[in-house]
Amino acid sequence: MGWAERLRAGLARTRDALRSRVLPALGRPPAEFLSDLEAALLQADVGVAATSRILEELARRPAAGDAEERLRALREILLDLLGPPAPLVLDPPPAAVLVLGVNGSGKTATAGKLAARLRQEGRRVILAAADTFRAAAIEQLGVWAARSGADLVRHGPGADPAAVVYDALAAARARRMDVVIADTAGRLHTRTPLMAELAKIARVVDRALPVGPVERLLVLDATTGQNALAQARAFHDAVRLTGIVLAKVDVSPRAGAALAVAADLGVPVKLVGVGEDVADLGPFDPVAFVDALLPSADGG
């Protein structure tokens, strides 16, 4: 399958959940339609702020309209909420990508898949095992490095994560590499020491790459619901996120978290994960996402 087909298949659970509520409401009077749509959006974890903006904009549209017109208006509003595509900024090299997130979000796998994707594009990649809190994460990243052909910089468990990133950046300059992808620790986002640790890593990167591009990507598990928004706020406060990776949308009916984060923080979704395969991580295209998310008026 091509990426658009993979994305549509991955969003099937969320689309089915929306379809079950939205389709029966399309022919109802405006007030009933908006009420049912509100319930559907909240169920998909679009969030209160984003849902309110969507409903307010729909309410300003003409009350009359058939199902196709209502879906077309909803599509336009969702696209406006998500904003234009926001690709990763990796040039000029060397660039750094900090992969952030709580444990279990798919953070280490995302770092490995991104390395594989960039290697396929011909970029020279270093993976930095900066999640020194978990020995298993270091080993897992080593497996991804071997699979993708990326270099690996690692220290022992318990080492200073910022030192690992510093050494990876030094190696990138010495070896003329293109991208350093750092897998960071993922203890609970409510743990202040973790946020201080991540802020320290970000400062090390900023000093090492004063003019180089730095991506600070938060991996959000689509199954976590509204807790994803709380996570995004905490990480954004700590390191000023440049983008979101929405992971595991294939196993969740609540992929609307992308809209919630976009509305609340203004941080763009840059990548989306729709499965376990290397090819199941790809760029976030708002048009493809909305087209895959919304049911058609005929139920498709």
Cβ–Cβ under 8 Å, residues 4 and 284: no
Burial of 181 per CB tally in 10 Å (0-12, 13-18, 19+): buried
Cβ–Cβ under 8 Å, residues 71 and 26: yes
- Measured distance CA(155)–CA(128) in Å, rounded: 9
Tokens of 13: 């659970």
- Name residues whose C-beta falls within 8 Å of residue 53's C-beta, 6 or more positions apart in sequence: 77, 81, 263
Per-residue pLDDT of the chain (300 residues; tens, 9 = 90+): 688 888 888 888 888 877 788 888 888 888 888 898 898 888 877 888 888 988 999 888 765 567 788 888 888 999 998 889 999 999 999 999 999 998 888 899 999 999 999 999 999 999 999 999 888 999 999 999 999 999 999 999 999 999 999 999 999 999 999 999 999 988 665 666 888 899 999 999 999 998 889 999 999 887 776 677 788 888 999 899 999 998 887 776 667 777 788 778 889 999 998 888 888 899 998 988 888 877 665 555
Q: How far is CA 28 from CA 21, 35, 59, 69, in A?
A: 12, 10, 14, 13
Q: What is the pLDDT of residue 184?
A: 95
Q: What is the pLDDT of residue 297?
A: 54
Record the pTM: 0.90
Q: What is the pLDDT of residue 296?
A: 63
HSE on the CB side for 127, CA within 13 Å? 32
Q: Which of 210, 205, 118 is nearest to 164 (CA)?
A: 205
pLDDT tens-digit profile of 93-141? 999 999 999 888 889 999 999 999 999 999 999 999 999 988 899 999 9
Cβ–Cβ under 8 Å, residues 114 and 215: no
